[in-house]
Amino acid sequence: MEKRIYVGNLSYNSTEEDIQSLFQQAGTVVSCQLMLDKFTSRSRGFAFVEMETVEEANSAVAKFNEKDLDGRSLRVNIAKPREDRPPRR
């Protein structure tokens, strides 16, 4: 099973610290990556959180899916493996 979690529908005002402190309620957070737009450095509205164990990841999904954060209902799922894509031209 996967320990990496997809967190979507984030407010543009949410920070990595906000997300990490929320997910620490479910266990040990190994890493938190808020995806930023490369031109504006503004949040893209989603993040990836890696938990220490699979059980903590599953607990976090159950606990935080559709939970309100900064006025938005979060979408929390186990992240799918990254697909290989051909390079852009």
Give DSSP secondary structure letters for 26-55.
SS-EEEEEEEE-TTT--EEEEEEEEESSHH
Domain annotation covers residue 73? yes
Q: Residue 30 belongs to a domain with what CATH number?
A: 3.30.70.330
The 10s digit of each residue's pLDDT in 36-63 is 999 998 999 999 999 999 999 999 999 9
Cα–Cα distance for residue pair 25/31, rounded to 1 Å:
14
Give the number of domains in the chain. Answer: 1
Positive or negative torsion for Cα 42, 44, 45, 50:
negative
Cβ atoms of 57 and 23 within 8 Å: the answer is no
SS3 content of the chain, % helix, strand, coil (to 5): 20, 35, 45
Domain annotation covers residue 31? yes
Instruction: Give percent above pLDDT 70 in the chain.
Output: 99
Domain annotation covers residue 83? no
Domain annotation covers residue 60? yes
Domain annotation covers residue 25? yes
pTM: 0.88
Domain annotation covers residue 64? yes
Full residue range of the structural domain in which residue 22 is found: 4-78
